[in-house]
Structure 1
Amino acid sequence: MTGRRRTRTFLPAHHRPAKARALSAGALAACASIAVGCGVVPGTTGGSGDDPITVMTWAPEKTKATNKPGMPALALAYARWINSKGGINGRKLKVLTCNDHNDTVSAANCARRAVDENVVAVVGSYSQHARSFFSPLEAAGIPYLGGYGVTDDEFTSPLSYPVNGGQPALLAGLGQQLARNCGPVTLVRPDTIAGDELPVLLDSGLSAGGHSAAVDQRAAEDATEYSNHADQALRRVTEDPTEEGCVVPALGDRTDTFMDSFRRAREAYPTVRTASVLGSVDQSVIDATGSAYEGSYVTGWYPASRDKRWKPMREVIREEAFGDNRIDESDPGVQTTWVAYTVLKKAVESLGDGEVSSRTLRRTLDDGLKINTGGLTPTLSWSFDDLTASSGFPRLVNSDVSFQVVRKGQLVSARKGFVNVSKVLENTEAS
């Protein structure tokens, strides 16, 4: 990559996956909180007694690129719900939220606000600007629990406790899924530094399945239409009429724009299928686009959104956030926040009547606490013995992905259970 700076960020399922090292004063004002009770003990929140347990959840909102308003909205709903049940071990949960505005300054200011507010953890959050927010957190010893998995630092920082395999697992898993079901594959991705990383992980999964590498097709990430790119991708995957080709649009929030163009161009190529990862595609997107995604292959971290294992989350949304259109239960960001707060609750419960602080949370997680998430993930544990053998992702503990497909307009499981891609990730060389 001539002349490009090597700061790499995963294109979130909403932006761009891949290996990556990726608040102004006004943003601080955007931070909101809910709590029952008041008062923060300097240096430690939620210590012994009735002090609230203070945490923060952040995500970008109202930006021109990726937006995840459902994550902080669900965190607030979760706090209302858990506090209505008496809190955690009798202590109220206080959730602060912050808008990282999808920029480095705002992300850093969110982290500084977390330090100033003495939070015990940052939970279930999304930001592409890990280099900006991890420094303040690490200096204060605040754990980052259940990030979206969009940056490399989330799988390398000793204070990070990821609950899924991030974009590396999604792309590697999608490659494995397509290797079994597709002929030629074309990846349409942003012509950006983060986009440059996408082919590496997709090809690792394709290669593991004995498939040739995908054709790498670059596109502007802020285009208003993609007719030429759709035509080009379709021609490439139909050069051999005996094989069923697959097009993989990975353009973040512009994936829908691409699909508008693709749907029109596809009429001349009825056998071509599409594929993507959850975040770029979810049930709400499928509902809004008619038959555009019919037959598409989709890889996710968790069970399909209609799976009964999501019933507790759906009940909390119905009880505490009914009518809040920011929260989409099929969005993997919302789902990740739910899993992260499930982990927080069980970690705090493991401390009994003792001190709840950033230090004690890190200690109980590092000591190998086993956390069952009700089948939404494998049992989670961040002890040394549970960490992956991949040198590129040393904090990764959950390499499972789910293979899904769109049938009759519904995103359903393509195969029973999860597929573990740890071996693929271990064999993926850093680009």
Structure 2
Amino acid sequence: MKRYFSGIMAGLILFTAGCSKSGEQKNGGDGIKLMFIGQITDTANTTPRPEALAGVRAAIASINASGGIRGKRLNLIICDDRGDANQATKCARKAVRENVAATVGNNSNFGSAILAVLERGNVASIGHLPITQSDFSSPVAFPLQAGSAGMIAGAARLLASQDAKQVGLAAVDSPAGSLNEKFANAGVKGTETKVGELTLVPLDAPDYAGYVKKVTSSGDAVLLGMNSDQAGRFLQAMYEAGAKQPVAVTVGALPPDLIARLGPAAEGRFITAPLRPIEAGGKSNDQYLADLAAHQPNTNRNVFSQGGWLAVQAFAAAMTTKQVEDFSPQNVLAAMNSLEGLVVGDMIPSLTTTKKLDPPYNRLFINKVMFARVVNGKIELLNNDWHPTLAQ
């Protein structure tokens, strides 16, 4: 579902003083400058994610209302990459020029372009949505979740735990989608489960019946690596075809509003979540929901706004724990690289950034997901465990 924030123009937006509700003000003084880079608007692919920005805004507003970090107010600069690699690069250059302390909660398809620039300015990227290889390997990258790669691997492992012998795999027809076969195979490594041939589904496919028939005939379980629009159409077509195989998807592909629309077509579907699902409760989710209600009441409650909110909380927890006084990019980066068992609530496992990891996932500090299932139209955890995903 498209949702655009009124007053957001394409390109760079620097908010001025007086916006105390959102926590944004003109930069300067004793404040701490942060930047969000993301797909706020996207006319090319119709997949904007303004919710991530809303989560960032809500967390900043809440922290500022409580006195900021070590007495300093958080000031937010927002950059819309508009689903364009060139614009994403310009956003990153802006972050370096502005000498921001860090970027937080970035939600962009162009992490490689962004991180290449941030590296030159020693600017940390905290809690970005990890999609590209650079998101897991850049020396300034601090993902707080396993991302789509980990969720796909986790989904395959989940199906293996349900005694699936052969998993039919369908994904969006894109460079990122084509990687899902690799991730799924990583997830079933060490089990007796096999992953079938990958079926790529174009974004503009007019009918899903043929794809459903191909995928469901190739295994006794189905894994979908798709966005929510595609996943919804695929699940509806499966339901109409009477296909009975268990299905696993990522939490972003089957958000609560889509579950409600699909009704019985969503029932019983397995879900992997890189953050504790909102429906599972917990102290962090309670605070996240309260902050959104107070500061961003009209945004969607989903994994994207969760991720944006969490990124700011992680920054605040790290800077407080490390007792940072000078919030220069270099000092923030050094603090982020020295974390040992940092607790950022119960939305994710504790964060340690000092451990040495092997390429290509050498910044995959949190390599776990939660397993859930749709029961009576709600997402319910299978258990309270965090399950490993990609082999490291």
State if a TM-score over 0.5 links the two structures: yes
Distance in 2 of aligned mates of 1:298 and 1:206: 16
Give the residue type in structure 1 aligned to 2:222: V
Structure-1 residue corresponding to 2:124: 143
Cα contact 1:88–1:345 (8 A) shared by 2 = yes
- Tell me if 1:276 matches 2:255: no
| Structure 2 residue corresponding to 1:255, chosen from 227, 231, 237 | 231
| Structure 2 residue corresponding to 1:419, chosen from 382, 387, 390 | 387
Structure-2 residue corresponding to 1:379: 350
Cα contact 1:37–1:92 (8 A) shared by 2 = no
Structure-1 residue corresponding to 2:367: 399
Cα contact 2:10–2:41 (8 A) shared by 1 = no
Structure-1 residue corresponding to 2:339: 368
- Tell me if 1:348 matches 2:327: no
Distance in 1 of aligned mates of 2:51 and 2:89: 21
Superposed displacement of residue 94, structure 1? 0.8
- Tell me if 1:56 matches 2:35: yes
SS of 1:291's equivalent? Answer: helix
Q: Deviations over 1:139-176 (max 9, x none)?
A: 11111111111111011111111111222221211111
SS of 1:114's equivalent? Answer: helix
Structure-1 residue corresponding to 2:106: 125
TM-score normalised over the length of structure 1: 0.81
Structure 1 pair 77/134, CA: closer, same or farther in 2 (3 Å)? same
- Tell me if 1:214 matches 2:187: no
Structure 1 pair 164/357, CA: closer, same or farther in 2 (3 Å)? same
Structure-1 residue corresponding to 2:213: 231
Cα contact 1:148–1:166 (8 A) shared by 2 = yes
Structure-1 residue corresponding to 2:11: 28
Superposed displacement of residue 65, structure 1? 4.2
Structure 1: give runs of 5+ residues left out of the alignment.
1-25, 41-49, 238-244, 427-431
- Tell me if 1:292 matches 2:265: yes
Superposed displacement of residue 406, structure 1? 1.0
Superposed displacement of residue 27, structure 1? 4.1
Structure-1 residue corresponding to 2:289: 314
How many residue pairs get aligned? The number is: 373
Counterparts of 1:327-346 in structure 2, within 5 Å, are 327-329=299-301, 331-346=302-317
Give the residue type in structure 2 aligned to 1:54: K
Superposed displacement of residue 255, structure 1? 1.9
SS of 1:405's equivalent? Answer: strand
TM-score normalised over the length of structure 2: 0.89
Structure 1 pair 39/66, CA: closer, same or farther in 2 (3 Å)? closer
User: Considering only aligned residues, what root-mean-square deviation do their CA atoms show, in Å?
Assistant: 2.1
Cα contact 1:27–1:109 (8 A) shared by 2 = no
Structure 1 pair 61/354, CA: closer, same or farther in 2 (3 Å)? closer
Cα contact 2:256–2:378 (8 A) shared by 1 = yes
Superposed displacement of residue 30, structure 1? 4.9
Superposed displacement of residue 412, structure 1? 0.6
* Farther off after superposition, 256-265 or 147-156: 256-265
Q: Deviations over 1:262-281 (max 9, x none)?
A: 3322x2x3x32221111111
Distance in 1 of aligned mates of 2:272 and 2:191: 15
Counterparts of 1:40-119 in structure 2, within 5 Å, are 40=28, 51-63=30-42, 64-119=45-100
- Tell me if 1:180 matches 2:161: yes
Structure 1 pair 32/263, CA: closer, same or farther in 2 (3 Å)? farther
Cα contact 1:185–1:248 (8 A) shared by 2 = yes
Structure-2 residue corresponding to 1:6: none
Structure 1 pair 126/39, CA: closer, same or farther in 2 (3 Å)? closer
Q: Deviations over 1:19-66 (max 9, x none)?
A: xxxxxxx843456575566443xxxxxxxxx51111011221332243
Distance in 1 of aligned mates of 2:27 and 2:48: 31
Distance in 1 of aligned mates of 2:208 and 2:364: 35
Cα contact 1:161–1:395 (8 A) shared by 2 = yes
Cα contact 1:37–1:52 (8 A) shared by 2 = no
Give the percent of matched residue pairs that are identical in Structure 1 and Structure 2: 21
